[in-house]
Structure 1
Amino acid sequence: MAPPPSRSGVVRGARRILWDVLEEHLEEAAFLWRQRERALVAPDERLEDLADGDEARLLAHLRGLVTGGAAAAERLLRPTLAAEEPQRTGVAAWSLLAMQEEDGTIPVLRAMETAEDAPRAGLMRALALSERPGLDAALLRSALCLQPWPRAGVLEALVHRRADVGPLLGGLSPGASPPIWRAALHACRLVPLPMASEWLGGAMEHSRPDLQEAARVTGLIHHLREPWLQCREEVEQGRVQGRVPLLALAISGGMREAELLIEALRGPLPRDEVLWALGFCGRIPVAEVLLEVLREEASWLAADSFATITGLPLDEPRFLEKADADEYDPEEDVEDTRAAEEAVAELPGPAAPDLKVRVAEVEAWWREARPRLDARGRYLLGSPWSAKGLVEAMERVSLRRRPVLAWELAVRSLGACQVEPRAWARVQRASLTRARDVRLAVQSFDVLMKRGI
Structure 2
Amino acid sequence: MLLDILEEHLEETEILWSSRRITMRSPNLDLRGLAALEARLSAHLEGLALGARESRESLEAALTGCDTDRAFAAAAALLTTRDPGARQGVRQALAVSLPPARRGITEALCHMPLKDDTRAALEIQLERSAGLDPAAIEVLSFHRCLPDGNLALAVPGGDRETRRAAARAIGRMGGRADWAQWLVGDDDQAVRDLALQAAARCGLPWAHRKLRLVCGDGERVSPESLRLLACLGDRSDIELLRTCAHRHELGDAAVAGLGTLGYTGCVDALMEVVGDARLARAAGRAFKRITGLEPPVIAEQSSGLEIEDATFEDLRPIPDAGATRALWRERRAGFDAHIRWRDGEPLETGRWKQAPYLGDLLTRREELTRLWMQEPALFPKLELDAPVARQRAVTA
Q: How do 1:399-414 residues align onto structure 2 when only pairs under 5 Å count?
A: 399=362, 403-414=365-376
Q: Tell whether 2:13 aligns with 1:52.
A: no
CA distance in 2, matches of 1:402, 1:139: 34
Counterpart for residue 61 of structure 1: 44
Q: Tell whether 2:75 aligns with 1:85.
A: no
CA distance in 2, matches of 1:114, 1:321: 55
CA contact (8 A) 1:189 1:221 kept: yes
Question: SS at 1:96's partner residue?
Answer: helix
CA contact (8 A) 1:96 1:102 kept: no
CA distance in 2, matches of 1:80, 1:268: 39
Counterpart for residue 292 of structure 2: 311
Q: 1:324 aligns with which of 281, 302, 311?
A: 302
Counterpart for residue 115 of structure 1: 97
CA contact (8 A) 2:303 2:314 kept: no
Q: 1:425 aligns with which of 381, 385, 388?
A: 388
CA distance in 2, matches of 1:123, 1:402: 27
Q: 2:16 aligns with which of 29, 32, 35?
A: 32
CA contact (8 A) 1:299 1:357 kept: yes
Distance 1:114 1:265, change over 3 A: same
CA distance in 2, matches of 1:363, 1:204: 39
CA distance in 2, matches of 1:148, 1:110: 18
Encode CA deviations 1:260-318: one digit per residue, 9 max, x unaligned. Answer: 3234445687322221211121211111321343255471211222233223468xxx8
* Percentage identity across paired residues of the two chains: 24
CA distance in 1, matches of 2:163, 2:224: 18
CA contact (8 A) 1:247 1:404 kept: no
Q: Tell whether 2:241 aligns with 1:257.
A: no
RMSD: 3.7
CA contact (8 A) 1:81 1:111 kept: yes
User: Which region of structure 1 is more displaced relative to structure 2, 132-141 or 172-181?
Assistant: 132-141
Counterpart for residue 235 of structure 1: 215
Question: SS at 1:131's partner residue?
Answer: coil
Distance 1:215 1:325, change over 3 A: closer
Question: SS at 1:162's partner residue?
Answer: coil
Aligned AA (1:26)? L
Distance 1:73 1:130, change over 3 A: farther
Aligned AA (1:327)? L
Counterpart for residue 141 of structure 1: 123
Question: SS at 2:260's partner residue?
Answer: coil
Counterpart for residue 437 of structure 1: none
CA contact (8 A) 1:33 1:58 kept: yes
How far has the Cα of 1:220 moved from its partner?
Answer: 2.2
CA contact (8 A) 2:119 2:140 kept: no
CA contact (8 A) 1:221 1:415 kept: no
Encode CA deviations 1:136-185: one digit per residue, 9 max, x unaligned. Answer: 73354233256599920221123333334435436756322222222112
Q: 1:354 aligns with which of 315, 320, 324?
A: 315
Q: 1:289 aligns with which of 254, 262, 269?
A: 269
When normalised by structure 1's length, the TM-score is 0.73
Encode CA deviations 1:190-241: one digit per residue, 9 max, x unaligned. Answer: 334xx33342232222222222222221122233344433322243454443
Q: How do 1:358-377 residues align onto structure 2 when only pairs under 5 Å count?
A: 358-359=319-320, 370-377=332-339
Distance 1:368 1:19, change over 3 A: same
CA distance in 2, matches of 1:361, 1:48: 36
How far has the Cα of 1:95 moved from its partner?
Answer: 1.4
Distance 1:27 1:268, change over 3 A: closer
CA distance in 2, matches of 1:241, 1:251: 15
Aligned AA (1:201)? Q
Distance 1:320 1:68, change over 3 A: farther
Distance 1:41 1:387, change over 3 A: closer
Unaligned runs of 5+ in 2: none
Q: How many residues align?
A: 392
CA distance in 2, matches of 1:21, 1:208: 44
Distance 1:237 1:203, change over 3 A: closer
How far has the Cα of 1:420 moved from its partner?
Answer: 3.4
Encode CA deviations 1:85-107: one digit per residue, 9 max, x unaligned. Answer: 11121111111112123343321
Encode CA deviations 1:314-343: one digit per residue, 9 max, x unaligned. Answer: 8xxx869896364254247xx8xxxxxxxx
Aligned AA (2:251)? R
Distance 1:382 1:91, change over 3 A: same
Q: Tell whether 2:262 aligns with 1:279.
A: no
CA contact (8 A) 1:184 1:199 kept: no
CA distance in 2, matches of 1:30, 1:280: 31
CA contact (8 A) 1:78 1:92 kept: yes
Q: How do 1:381-420 residues align onto structure 2 when only pairs under 5 Å count?
A: 381-390=343-352, 396-397=359-360, 399=362, 403-417=365-379, 419-420=382-383
CA distance in 1, matches of 2:371, 2:294: 24
